[in-house]
């Protein structure tokens, strides 16, 4: 077994409460030591793999779903684990998006369209556009 060392820190009470709440919600329950170890390992593994951090060029993609679909997703996430950890909502949604984009891009190349047109890398990508709320309001509601 690897040698263990202690870390003693003081954090704001609100942050302590949030971390305790999240730790207690883990299945199976974790000790504070296990919880902090998992957070540190995730942080350093992500950093070593060149993963995105809070300071990277991440964008927020937020949307509402029907309550029934929300609970179906939560049930799915609870039933699926990766490396002994519950699959996160973010990883689940990002995985689905990447899967569909990969499929679509492969289809575009197979059709001879080359790279997908309409990339918005250098265009205005502000989060609010007129009509966003009206477009696609029925998509996914059949689930």
Buried b (16+ CB within 10 A) or exposed e, 88-109: eeeeeeeeeeeeeeeeeeeeee
Each residue of 68-80: pLDDT tens digit? 999 999 899 888 8
Each residue of 75-94: pLDDT tens digit? 998 888 766 777 888 889 99
How many residues are there in the chain?
143
Each residue of 12-55: pLDDT tens digit? 999 998 888 888 888 788 888 888 888 888 888 776 665 555 55
* pTM check: above 0.85: no
Is the model more confident about 122 or about 110?
Answer: 110
Residue 116 contacts by C-beta under 8 Å, 6 or more apart in sequence? Answer: 104, 105, 108
| Best CA proximity match to 19, nearest among 9, 37, 32, 38 | 32
């Amino acid at each position: 077994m690897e040698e263990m060392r202690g870390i003693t820190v003081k954090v704001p009470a609100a942050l302590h409460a949030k971390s305790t709440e999240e730790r207690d919600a883990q299945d199976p329950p974790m000790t504070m030591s296990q919880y902090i170890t998992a957070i540190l390992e995730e942080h350093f593994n992500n950093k070593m793999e060149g993963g995105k951090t809070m300071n990277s060029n991440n964008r927020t993609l937020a949307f509402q779903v029907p309550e029934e679909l929300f609970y179906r997703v939560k049930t799915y996430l609870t039933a699926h684990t990766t490396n002994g950890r519950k699959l996160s909502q973010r990883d689940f949604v990002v995985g689905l998006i990447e899967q569909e984009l990969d499929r679509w891009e492969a289809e575009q190349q197979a059709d001879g369209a080359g790279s997908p047109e309409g990339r918005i890398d250098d265009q205005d990508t502000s989060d609010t556009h007129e009509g966003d709320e009206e477009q696609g309001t029925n998509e996914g509601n059949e689930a």
